[in-house]
């Protein structure tokens, strides 16, 4: 049974947007499908609301509508597009509380983090609306002038992951529309609700067909990357899927933007204030239960402070309450879905097999209903172990020790994943 309301917080307004029913929008209209599916609340494993399951015909319909809308939207003056985008940001802010509760319900992150994501969502829209689209004059003589103009491309297919389903949707809608493009949003089947609701809300601010959504299963993403009527793919997700997206998009020479996985090293120098820095490192390693592309995923601590730093980190981790994100005082929620839970569990299964030393955690959360695992730090596993080389994307992190800068920089750089990296020291 799907919940009847999002934590009872849905406000009754004249222009009320329901947060208990969800649809996809094609050509400005809610389009039903014969089949439906639903997400699961990862903290309770309860079924959430039904959403459409589309096929190729729905995508064709959506692309046709988007191509039609592009003809006039691409010619709409920038200032007018910007005005509509800013009005949309205000609308998202107006429904902040509802979006935040919905986000926790479908994704699992605690309410305070969901609030931050929603705030960042409308702040990003506004920030992007503050940018201008420059024209570059690259040559100007008495007889010749050469200008580079950035013109609209066409239909953008937005493919969204399940870890930041709201922020990454607003982060794709705003730049596409400001630059005169139109967009079709495909949410993750694991976390479709915030993205579908954002597209529904957008119908009030943009002409029909300018912002559409397509809801369905795992087959929709590949259909989008192959579709000849989509001109660009903006993808955020895993590196493995990113490679498939690039390969598939190459068949129609689509442009692609790929925001992929990370395995971010944090290098902790011997001069740090341990009582200050260790809690920060623990926080950024375990935020969203390790399901952030930019989480600290390999912690390199100088050997002279290693033991003390590890104790401070584990002590802080023990204060981070794990549970249902809708409950008060929770810092870490569940894994978002069963597939991710099963994958992250394989790292926990490696603990006895690889004889890893566990500094804290190490197992399942007994008596929990949802996809919970204990926040875990592995004490100095081998540099070539899976926990160091791969992106677990869950609450399990290796602590490693280092002696010389040359050595630690080489180890930090020993990855094909480039995203973030940090050095922690008093000496800027
Ligand atoms: P995922 O790659 O499994 O799925 C992402 C999206 O791609 C989903 O909508 C999915 O339905 C779709 N998809 C799946 N197969 C596809 C295919 N063959 N063709 C086209 N689309 C397809 O990723 P996820 O598990 O949802 O997200 C977690 C990953 O995302 C992590 O690796 C994380 O680091 C990364 N991520 C990166 C950033 C960034 O900015 N770099 C931000 C957030 C998440």
Q: Are residues 185 and 242 in the same domain?
A: yes
Q: Please, are residues 339 and 393 in contact by the beta-carbon 8 Å criterion?
A: no
293-324 pLDDT tens trace: 999 999 999 999 999 999 999 999 999 999 99
Q: Are residues 148 and 225 in the same domain?
A: yes
254-285 pLDDT tens trace: 999 999 999 999 999 999 999 999 999 999 99
In the chain, % of residues over pLDDT 70: 96
**CA gap 407, 401 in Å, rounded:** 11
C-alpha neighbours within 13 Å on the C-beta side of residue 346: 12
C-alpha neighbours within 13 Å on the C-beta side of residue 407: 10
pTM, two decimal places = 0.95
169 falls within a domain: yes
pLDDT reading at 174 higher than 60: yes
Identify whether 194 is a catalytic site residue.
no
187-218 pLDDT tens trace: 999 999 999 999 999 999 999 999 999 999 99
* Token code pair at residue 350: 């490696």
Q: What is the pLDDT of residue 5?
A: 42
13 confidence band (pLDDT: 50, 70, 90)? very low
289 falls within a domain: yes
**CA gap 51, 196 in Å, rounded:** 9
5 falls within a domain: no
Q: Are residues 167 and 206 in the same domain?
A: yes
Instruction: Say how many Å lie between the CA of residue 75 and the centre of ligand 1.
Output: 32
In the chain, % of residues over pLDDT 90: 94
Q: What is the mean pLDDT of residues 18-34?
A: 97
**Residue 271, Cβ neighbours under 10 Å: how many?**
12
Q: Are residues 130 and 276 in the same domain?
A: no
**Ligand 1 atom showing the smallest separation from residue 237 Cα:** 30
Q: What is the pLDDT of residue 365?
A: 80
Q: Which residues line ligand 1 (CB under 6 A)?
A: 159-164, 186, 188-189, 218, 221-222, 225, 236-238, 241, 244-245, 259-262, 293, 391, 393, 419
Vertex 199: Cα angle to 196 and 200 (nearest 5): 85
pLDDT reading at 14 higher than 90: no
Q: What is the pLDDT of residue 418?
A: 82
Which of 46, 259, 315, 390 is the catalytic position? 259
Number of domains, the chain: 2
Instruction: Say how many Å lie between the CA of residue 236 and the centre of ligand 1.
Output: 5
Closest residue CA from atom 21 of ligand 1: 221
**Ligand 1 atom showing the smallest separation from residue 393 Cα:** 31
Q: What is the pLDDT of residue 2?
A: 52
- Chosen domain end from 237, 259, 281: 259
DSSP 8-class letter at 162: S
pLDDT reading at 12 higher than 70: no
Closest residue CA from atom 22 of ligand 1: 221
Instruction: Say how many Å lie between the CA of residue 239 and the centre of ligand 1.
Output: 8
51-105 pLDDT tens trace: 999 999 999 999 999 999 999 999 999 999 999 999 999 999 999 999 999 999 9
Q: Are residues 365 and 350 in the same domain?
A: yes
Instruction: Say how many Å lie between the CA of residue 101 and the centre of ligand 1.
Output: 23
125-170 pLDDT tens trace: 999 999 999 999 999 999 999 999 999 999 999 999 999 999 999 9
10 falls within a domain: no
What does residue 218 show for φ and ψ, rounded to 5 degrees?
-70, -15
pLDDT reading at 10 higher than 90: no
Domain span at residue 276 reads 264-424
Closest residue CA from atom 35 of ligand 1: 237
9 falls within a domain: no
Which of 117, 194, 200, 293 is the catalytic position? 293
pLDDT reading at 6 higher than 50: no
68 falls within a domain: yes
Q: Are residues 373 and 318 in the same domain?
A: yes
pLDDT reading at 372 higher than 80: yes
Q: Are residues 246 and 395 in the same domain?
A: no
pLDDT reading at 175 higher than 90: yes
Q: Are residues 223 and 168 in the same domain?
A: yes
3 confidence band (pLDDT: 50, 70, 90)? low
**Ligand 1 atom showing the smallest separation from residue 259 Cα:** 41
Place of tokens 């677990």: 392
Taking alpha carbons only, the member of 159, 15, 12 closest to residue 87 is 15
What does residue 423 show for φ and ψ, rounded to 5 degrees?
-120, 130
> Mean pLDDT in the chain?
95
19 falls within a domain: no
Instruction: Give the CATH number of the domain where residue 83 resides.
Output: 3.40.605.10
Q: What is the pLDDT of residue 161?
A: 98
Residues with Cβ within 8 Å of residue 276, at least 6 apart in sequence: none
- Chosen domain end from 207, 231, 259: 259
Instruction: Say how many Å lie between the CA of residue 240 and the centre of ligand 1.
Output: 8
Query: 211 to each of 186, 231, 414, how far by Cα in Å?
Result: 11, 15, 41
**Ligand 1 atom showing the smallest separation from residue 339 Cα:** 25
Place of tokens 């309770």: 44
Identify whether 117 is a catalytic site residue.
no
Place of tokens 């139109």: 182
């Amino acid at each position: 049974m799907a919940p009847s309301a999002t934590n009872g917080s849905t406000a009754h307004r004249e222009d009320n947007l329901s947060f208990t029913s969800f649809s996809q929008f094609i050509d400005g209209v809610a389009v039903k499908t014969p089949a439906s599916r639903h997400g699961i609340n990862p903290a309770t494993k309860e079924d959430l609301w039904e959403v459409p399951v589309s096929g190729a015909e729905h995508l064709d319909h959506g692309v046709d509508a988007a191509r039609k809308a592009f003809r006039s939207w691409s010619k709409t003056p920038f200032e007018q597009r910007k005005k509509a985008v800013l009005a949309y940001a205000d609308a998202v802010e107006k429904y902040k509380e509802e979006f935040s509760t919905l986000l926790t319900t479908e994704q699992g992150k605690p309410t305070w983090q969901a609030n931050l994501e929603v705030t960042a969502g409308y702040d990003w829209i506004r920030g992007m609306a503050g940018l201008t689209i420059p024209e570059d004059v690259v040559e100007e003589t008495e007889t010749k002038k050469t200008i580079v103009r950035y013109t609209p491309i066409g239909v953008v297919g937005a493919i969204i992951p399940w870890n930041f389903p709201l922020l990454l949707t607003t982060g794709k809608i705003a730049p596409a529309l400001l630059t005169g493009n139109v967009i079709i949003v495909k949410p993750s089947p694991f976390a479709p609700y915030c993205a579908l609701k954002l597209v529904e809300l957008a119908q009030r601010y943009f002409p029909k067909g300018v912002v559409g959504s397509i809801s369905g299963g795992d087959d929709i993403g590949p259909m989008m990357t192959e579709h000849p009527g989509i001109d660009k793919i903006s993808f955020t997700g895993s590196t493995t899927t990113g490679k498939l997206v690039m390969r598939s998009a190459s068949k129609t020479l689509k442009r692609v933007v790929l925001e992929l996985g990370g395995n971010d090293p944090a290098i902790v120098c011997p001069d740090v204030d341990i009582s200050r820095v260790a809690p920060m490192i623990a926080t950024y390693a375990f935020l969203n239960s390790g399901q952030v592309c930019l989480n600290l995923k390999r912690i390199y601590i100088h050997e002279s402070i290693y033991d003390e730093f590890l104790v401070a980190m584990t002590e802080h981790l023990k204060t981070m309450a794990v549970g249902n994100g809708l409950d008060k005082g929770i810092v870490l929620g569940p894994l978002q879905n069963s597939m991710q839970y099963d994958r992250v569990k394989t790292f926990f299964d490696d603990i006895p097999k690889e004889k890893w030393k566990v500094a804290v955690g190490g197992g399942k959360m007994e008596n929990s209903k949802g996809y919970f695992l204990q926040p875990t730090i592995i004490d100095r596993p081998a540099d070539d172990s899976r926990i160091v080389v791969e992106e677990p994307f869950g609450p399990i992190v290796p602590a490693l020790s280092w002696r010389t800068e040359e050595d630690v920089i080489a180890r930090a750089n020993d990855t094909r994943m480039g995203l973030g990296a940090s050095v922690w020291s008093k000496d800027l």
